[in-house]
Amino acid sequence: MKNEELKYKNKMLRGMIYRRLWLLTFLILHSSFFILSSCQDKRARDDQGRTSACWIYAMLECIEHEAAMRGDSVQLSRQWLMAKELEEQTVWHYLSDGKGADISLRGVGPEAIRLINIYGLVPYQHEKTQITRGSVTERKLQLLARQALSLDDLRERMTDMLPQFTTTRPTTGKQPAFYYLSMRYNPLQFAESVMYYQHWHFYTSVPHHPYNTDITLEVADNRYHHAFTNVPIDSITAKVLASLKAGHAVYWEYGNPTPDGIVSSDHAMAIEGIVKSRKHPGRIMLRCKNSYGKEWGQKGYCLISLPYFKAHTCNVGLVE
């Protein structure tokens, strides 16, 4: 009788242990799934998060829009260009013995085009990790550039701080490779296929420089002294409206005007269309795509008036 009772208790105890193990396993798997899902949510393609890379987001949004006009629906990795920009600056900071400008993700539209021409593009689907707090990454890379023992040591340690991608490892003289829609690409080949027939030209309106000439835009974010064609703001407005009516997207940087008529570069968005004003019949509004995610504004979009556009425009980028 006692043996049977003991067997019954052991059986019940094993059953309880198995159930608890099963519940623990389920909770672990469920938690892992939740964490992974949350990571995917945080890596939204159109949300710059706590970084200052709005110029990359706006420029790639425009490039995606142009590709969509050809029937090519593509999602591009913003993190790829962010990684290359930070990598360049970190190496330069090391080589200049820390005497160069501070490492920063701030920039202007032509800088995104320069990075694409050198490093190409990668689909968003190949992102593994991302930069979520830009200022923290910038400070860590700047400190690393001062502590690194050699350039090889810098590059090896820098890799862990930058976004990772599901691409093959680059070999000597070759770029990393990946597959997209069953086709094998390297980043430069992919950029060429996406930006086929895309030629971007950038304009600004600065009253203290002669119009219809190329100038270096005098804003802090123009680190690499990119050239912009200087024209009157009314000419920029006419070009933007004509481009939008033709179905193109417009890269737009804006800020606050000064008494001298100079506009700072504070933020960048992609202008993707023209909308008729409901409150003011006969007026038109510009529909802009921001880089704060779909929770911002009207599912990531906002409307601006033409007077606001004229007063706050720093520079624009157009497909020509």
Neighbouring residues of 295: CB distance < 8 A, sequence distance ≥ 6: none
- List C-alpha distances in Å: 231 to 21, 205, 258: 71, 5, 18
Residue 56 DSSP code: H
Question: Beta-carbon neighbour count of residue 113 at 10 Å?
Answer: 20
Per-residue pLDDT of the chain (320 residues; tens, 9 = 90+): 545 655 545 544 454 454 445 445 544 444 433 333 333 443 467 889 899 999 999 999 999 999 998 888 899 999 999 999 999 999 999 999 877 789 999 999 999 999 999 999 999 999 988 898 889 999 999 999 999 999 999 999 998 899 989 887 665 557 789 999 889 999 999 999 999 888 999 999 999 999 999 999 999 999 999 999 999 999 999 999 999 999 999 999 999 988 877 888 999 999 999 998 888 788 899 999 999 988 899 999 999 999 999 999 999 999 98
Burial 165-185 (b: 16+ CB within 10 A, else e): bebeeeeeeebbbbeeeeeeb
CA–CA separation, 289 vs 57, rounded Å?
10
| 201 touches 109 (CB < 8 A) | no
Give all strands of the β-sheet with 227-230 in edge-to-edge order. 213-216, 227-230, 200-204, 313-319, 250-254, 267-276, 284-289, 301-305
Amino acid at 124: Y
Sequence-distant (≥ 6) Cβ neighbours of residue 172 within 8 angstroms: none
